[in-house]
Amino acid sequence: MAAKEQRDGVDLTNLDEPLTADAGATKRDLVDYLEAVADRMLPGLIDRPLTVLRVLRGREPFMQKNVPKYTPDWVRTVPMWAEASHREVHYALCNDWRTLLWLANQRAVEYHPTLGLADNIYRPTHLVLDLDPPDDDFLKVVAVAHLVHQALTDSGLDGVVKTSGAKGVHVFVPIDDAAAVDDVAAATRALAARAEALDPDISTTAFIVSDRGGKVFVDATRAGGATVAAAYTPRLRPGTPVSFPLEWSELDSITPADFTVHTAIDALEGRPSWTESMPSAQTLPTDLIEHGRTIPVARVAAMHEGKRRAKERRESD
């Protein structure tokens, strides 16, 4: 029988087993870290349908949206229709420490909330750009992050930045509900395009990977019900890094590996939380929206381009 412990009324098991062979962390390390950052992390999770990445012993990691049947009654959930699988999915709402603790005991390592709240996940509360490098060279990401920051400033907007916990960074811009949802997506595309235009030699908005030419991808597709790795969430990568909020001026002096479940707690000392550092909700400029309306939706454009290239290959053969 596996030894059990209890914290805040939640039974915890197998705390001293490693998360993975290269995680450099046990489930106890995960629980201890989440307990230390819960007050900072929970505000970004509350009332947002949650997808988690779980890693069970002897199994490949998997993304979980639908809560398991054995989920306690006190874990709040929200039912949502999944068009792809034609079924109702019950998402967890991680609104309190006890729920976060229970999820950690389920070996949920990563936490990916929706950008919209449960009452309308398609209404994002933040405009988000995800900077994705072609390799592990973080200096490339930093250079493009500064382009995004400049594009924001030039557009009269203010945003905050965090490491993704993986290879890149996330830029968040809190927005009000003045703009229609499609206009939020348009403004996101416009900001990405404006950042790319500042230095197209190092940045790209090309959705098709083979078209990126080794540049950093400024991903403008995080809208319309999308999820994004939460601030402070651990990531299932070697060393178990975490998504860490930063000042823009700090980007040049850090790497994502500086912040792990072991080191991030001390690094948080004296810093404001992610929500405390967030600017007030902003109204998206009309010219930014109008610019974005002229830019095709990336996935749609990529689909048509794929069909065009396939036709060319058939004709050449």
Q: What is the pTM of this model?
A: 0.93
Segment 86-115 shows an average pLDDT of 96
Residues 6+ apart with CB under 8 A from 108: 52, 53, 54, 64
Q: Model confidence at 96, in pLDDT bands (50, 70, 90)?
A: very high
The neighbouring-strand residues paired with 50 are: 92, 113
Residue 82: its pLDDT value, please? 80
**10: Cβ contacts below 8 Å, ≥ 6 apart:** 98, 101, 102, 105
Give residue 1's pLDDT band: very low, low, confident or very high (50, 70, 90): very low
- H or E stretch at 109: strand 108-113
Reply yes or no on whether the pLDDT at 306 is more than 80.
no
| End-to-end Cα separation, the chain, in angstroms | 64
Tell me how many degrees the CA angle 288-289-294 measures, rounded to the nearest 5.
100
Q: In the structure, what pLDDT confidence band is assigned to residue 154 with cuts at 50, 70 and 90?
A: very high
Mean pLDDT for all residues in the chain: 93
3-state secondary structure 211-269: HCCCCEEEECCCCCCCECCCCCCECCCCCCEECCEECHHHHHHCCHHHCECCCHHHHCC
Average pLDDT over residues 89-114: 98
The per-residue pLDDT for 163 is 98
Mean pLDDT, residues 13-34 taken together: 97
Range from 74-78, 83-87, 121-125, 238-242 carrying the lowest mean pLDDT: 83-87
Rounded Cα distance between 211 and 187, Å, is 23
The per-residue pLDDT for range 6-16, each reduced to its tens digit, is 999 999 999 99
Q: Which pLDDT belongs to residue 160? A: 98
pLDDT at 243 over 90: yes
DSSP assigned state of 297: P
- Confidence band (pLDDT; 50, 70, 90) for 317? low
Task: Over range 197-224, report the average pLDDT.
Answer: 95
Answer yes or no: is pLDDT of 195 > 90: yes
pLDDT at position 22, please?
96
Instruction: Using the predicted structure, report yes or no on whether residue 316 has a pLDDT greater than 70.
Output: no
